[in-house]
Amino acid sequence: MPKKKIRPHNDIAPVLPPAPDDEEQTAAPAEYSASGTLFVVATPIGNLRDITLRALDVLSKVKLIAAEDTRHTRKLLSAYDIHVPLVSYHDHNKETAAPKLVAKLTAGEDVALVVSAGTPGISDPGFYLVRMAKSLGLTVVPIPGPCAAVAAMSVSGLPTNLFAFVGFLPTKAGRRRQHLQELKEFKGTLVFYESPGRLVDTMADLISELGDRPALIGREMTKVFETFYQGDLSALRSDMEGQAIKGEITLIVTGSTNPDQVATEELVERLENKMKNQGLSLSLAVREVARETNQKKSDIYDLALKLDRETEPTPENQ
């Protein structure tokens, strides 16, 4: 059975401590530009106390906050007694909202960009506004903080020296499986976001296309019912099947452990050199080539047999 962990949270109201005197630790909008700066501000993924002091400082001083969900963001601002105008900026209005925000920036107003949870630009329309602002030479400043992908990886116990953030996979099964096939040989850890309703189907496709790999599911991270499930994909899928899964899901999957593929031409060249030039037997040549290239000995053996048959003299040439 996969491991299951629930960490309770208390309900202490968020309190903003006094800001330190060190100006380098309290970078405010004026530090970068007197006006016209777009601040990309990370906000909590669940627990309001995960907001950074610098994020609060910036949010309280900009002229306007562009939010993915204004109602959600207003709760955060109210908790810290911040009263700055909010405008809606999301995937469905980005093409009309982004030019208006750029106009504000061009006119000299500082604007903060926030999403419902985490860091803007990570699997959301934040990049669209950032790209437009940068193309016009406007200043864009990151205010780092919470990110669900990084939070889940940090407790996964899976390799993190190389990883790929995949985000949400296609909703249609055919396109989802095709996308997973393209990731099959990637050596790094894979990071997915998924909706609760598609989680079981997605894990079935992961098993089908990538194989049964170690994985971690993070659900409702930093919230009261934060839960982590860890184990092989097949065990996780079995555990999740039939459950009424709720909440936001981050799925971490181990990368491929298959050896890098070596071109057939190179393998043939190596085999021919071993058998013809060095005089090694077929079995010894196969062993040497498999060791040198880190390929499966059975695959090299099949190739060597085919090569040996092709080079056997025919009756006409005897």
% of the chain exceeding 70 in pLDDT: 86
Spatial distance between the Cα atoms of 264 and 257, rounded to a whole number of angstroms:
20
pLDDT, averaged across the chain: 87
293 falls in which pLDDT band (50, 70, 90)? confident
If asked whether residues 35 and 140 sit together in one domain, one would say yes
What CATH number does the domain containing 98 carry? 3.40.1010.10
Which residue, among 269, 224, 265, 217, has the nearest Cα to 245 in the 3D structure?
Answer: 217
If asked whether residues 112 and 33 sit together in one domain, one would say yes
Give phi and psi for 87, each to the nearest 5. -130, 150
- The pTM (predicted TM-score) of the whole model is 0.74
Give phi and psi for 149, each to the nearest 5. -60, -45
What single DSSP character describes residue 119? -
Indicate whether 258 belongs to any domain. no
10 falls in which pLDDT band (50, 70, 90)? very low
- Residue-level pLDDT at 192: 98
Rounded average pLDDT over 263-278: 87
Rounded average pLDDT over 283-291: 88
65 bridge partner residues: 86, 112
CA atoms in the 13 A half-sphere facing the CB of 137: 1
If asked whether residues 118 and 171 sit together in one domain, one would say no
Domain hosting residue 37, numbered range: 27-146
Indicate whether 156 belongs to any domain. yes
User: Which of 125, 146, 167 represents a domain boundary (last residue)?
Assistant: 146
Spatial distance between the Cα atoms of 31 and 3, rounded to a whole number of angstroms:
47
Rounded average pLDDT over 109-117: 96
- Token pair belonging to 254: 């181990």
Which residue, among 167, 102, 165, has the nearest Cα to 128 in the 3D structure?
Answer: 102
- Residue-level pLDDT at 304: 87
Spatial distance between the Cα atoms of 133 and 104, rounded to a whole number of angstroms:
11
If asked whether residues 275 and 185 sit together in one domain, one would say no
User: Which of 99, 115, 146 represents a domain boundary (last residue)?
Assistant: 146
Rounded average pLDDT over 168-183: 95
Render pLDDT for 185-223 as a digit per residue (tens, 0 to 9): 899 999 999 999 999 999 999 999 999 999 999 999 999
Indicate whether 8 belongs to any domain. no
- Residue-level pLDDT at 312: 60
If asked whether residues 116 and 206 sit together in one domain, one would say no
Render pLDDT for 218-250 as a digit per residue (tens, 0 to 9): 999 999 999 999 999 999 999 999 888 899 999
Q: How many domains does the chain have?
A: 3
Beta strand 111-114 with 163-168: parallel, antiparallel or unpaired? unpaired
- Residue-level pLDDT at 168: 95
Render pLDDT for 147-166 as a digit per residue (tens, 0 to 9): 999 999 999 999 999 999 99
If asked whether residues 33 and 118 sit together in one domain, one would say yes
Residue 288: pLDDT over 70: yes
Torsion of CA 95, 101, 107, 109, to 10 degrees: -170
Residue 268: pLDDT over 80: yes
- Residue-level pLDDT at 306: 85
